Amino acid sequence: MDPEEAPKEALIRDLLAWLAPAPRPYAEVMEAWRTSCPRLTVWEDATERGLIACETRDGGLWVAVTPAGRAVLGATPATPP
């Protein structure tokens, strides 16, 4: 992995862990995770990779971790040599 990608990957895992207990309202997720920094595309990358998804529920938009996202959370990071 590119050393510049490591911080973003850690943030993606943080986002997944934050969402894992239960879906959260879209507005709450955007308030906590939106960024204007083009180098920290946590939300965009997690969405594009299918790790999180938006769903309509009770008349509102909610964000949830997908099975692929749960698999990332369950993966054990490689131990450095």
pLDDT tens across 35-58, in order? 766 666 888 899 999 999 999 998
Note every long-range contact of 43-47, with CB atoms under 8 Å and residues 24 or more positions apart, other chains counting.
43/15, 45/8, 45/12, 46/12, 46/15, 46/16
pLDDT, averaged in runs of 10, over the chain (81 residues): 73 94 93 74 91 93 96 69 41
Alpha helices in the chain (DSSP H): 6-19, 26-33, 42-48, 67-74
Q: Are 52 and 16 in contact (CB under 8 A)?
A: yes
Domain 6-74 -> CATH class: mainly alpha
